[in-house]
A and B are shown apart, each in its own frame.
Chain A
């Protein structure tokens, strides 16, 4: 079931085209991540999906706010309220019982500071509070703009398992992030936004393949010979070189095993290591140009 759908979304600010004709579809039980350089339009897109910003053209099937959780970019709350009071404020607007506030506080690990004023919170604590706020309605749709910014590594890890758990329960999750390793671990599909346009959409392996990105192969051979370079090229290598007994080969990801086997047959492989292209390489390929 499709949970979030948008078609042909456009938004300009003066001369700047912030979002340019973007289509988007996120299914129940799916994590969709938006990546892209600063100013690519991620936040603008997210705000249009929530109906906070009106698109110039295109449409969104707006999710039901009662079961949608939203974590904005760099959130700050009301300095004079405590963490608990802050959550109770949002809970009462949503008509959610108070007990849920304690639940989400413990989910994000803020029970200990619930009665302290938010003005005295650290950046990461505020970020956790924002996540707690987004979790209040047991959301079917979760929209997260740079959710782990400011979180320590443990908290980021807890966040990832929490998000996966919500996916298991069937929530549709859309998030933006600059932490590509996190996106690789979490996202079922990734959209690369570049200058307002969605230049690529799909799972990471598909995008790698689509873009013809090469794997880097490092092979140590028993009988070193300059000819090993030719062998590597012959069996699919794009470029290769040898230093001592170490052959380095760049080759299409699908042909890495062929190259390895050929080298083993002729020179005997002692050891090897493969660097696979990932989201970072995809990102650079699609969005590495000048902004």
Chain B
């Protein structure tokens, strides 16, 4: 298994030096700072507000940006390396395909973690400084689940990348994934709600929320927050999911795509 660590280290080092990833992280930090400063503030005043409110606004930002960064990080993992021929070298070495997949997944996850913690951490530090340590654990869990959200999309990117040799197809697939999960899915859900006059059973509605990792992520961070409910975007529906269940669902979203990626990669012929 320490060969997986070698792969992970290489991926980490390689991608930290990737200009696109660096740029995305910086944009991330700037957005996070701006939103926290001007964003949701109950009194209508400008400035760094309460931790809950800040998390609520940052969640929306994270849902747009983190999947994008994750897909950017993961899309070239197999198809790109195949094009370059470096994958063929890797496959000729004494290392298993499982080690290759795990190494890539966790190495890239580390990059995500650094980029997320960097982007949001600055806000966290400022808020802790201004508002005291009280909201620290909520903010910590926000950063942690943000990384998990990224890992879910990273797994999907690896799955796409292992499924075809054509990197442009992988890129197209990533864009489609992003559009579906970040843009289309909730709108479609809303459409269904309107069409049925709010008549779908709560259990089905809740189940549908589980099928989108960004919804699961939103639930974890906004449930149990007074201010958060409005941000759920689908007000009026009784959400009966507990945070613990949502957390399990997010973990499943991390584990399943990367496992599928391994299953596909193991059978692929290069």
- Please state if B14 and A72 are interface contacts (CB–CB under 8 Å): no
- Please state if B94 and A73 are interface contacts (CB–CB under 8 Å): no
- Please state if B269 and A53 are interface contacts (CB–CB under 8 Å): yes
Taking the closest CB of chain B, its distance from the CB of A13, in whole angstroms, is 9
Residues of A within 8 A of B18 (CB): 80
- Please state if B91 and A52 are interface contacts (CB–CB under 8 Å): yes
Q: Is A274 an interface residue (CB 8 A)?
A: no
- Please state if B85 and A68 are interface contacts (CB–CB under 8 Å): no
Q: Is B133 an interface residue (CB 8 A)?
A: no
**CB closest chain-B residue, reference A55:** B269
Taking the closest CB of chain A, its distance from the CB of B87, in whole angstroms, is 9
Q: Is B131 an interface residue (CB 8 A)?
A: no
Taking the closest CB of chain B, its distance from the CB of A106, in whole angstroms, is 21
A133–B92 Cα distance when bound, in Å, is: 12
- Please state if B86 and A50 are interface contacts (CB–CB under 8 Å): no
What does DSSP make chain B's interface, helix, strand, loop or mixed? helix
Q: Is B23 an interface residue (CB 8 A)?
A: no
- Please state if A93 and B88 are interface contacts (CB–CB under 8 Å): no
- A selection of 22 A-B contacts at a CB cut-off of 8 Å is A50-B91, A51-B91, A52-B88, A52-B270, A53-B270, A65-B93, A68-B92, A70-B89, A70-B92, A72-B85, A75-B89, A76-B85, A77-B84, A77-B86, A80-B13, A80-B14, A80-B17, A81-B10, A81-B13, A85-B13, A93-B6, A130-B89
Taking the closest CB of chain A, its distance from the CB of B135, in whole angstroms, is 37
What is the interface size of chain B, counting residues whose CB is below 8 A from a CB of the partner? 22
Q: Is B227 an interface residue (CB 8 A)?
A: no
Q: How large is the interface on A (under 10, 10 to 19, 20 to 34, 35 or more residues)?
A: 20 to 34
Q: Is B95 an interface residue (CB 8 A)?
A: yes
Q: Is A47 an interface residue (CB 8 A)?
A: yes
Residues of A within 8 A of B93 (CB): 65, 90, 93-94
A72–B82 Cα distance when bound, in Å, is: 11
A92–B9 Cα distance when bound, in Å, is: 11
Taking the closest CB of chain A, its distance from the CB of B78, in whole angstroms, is 13
Residue from A70, A85, A92 within 8 A of B88 (CB atoms)? A70
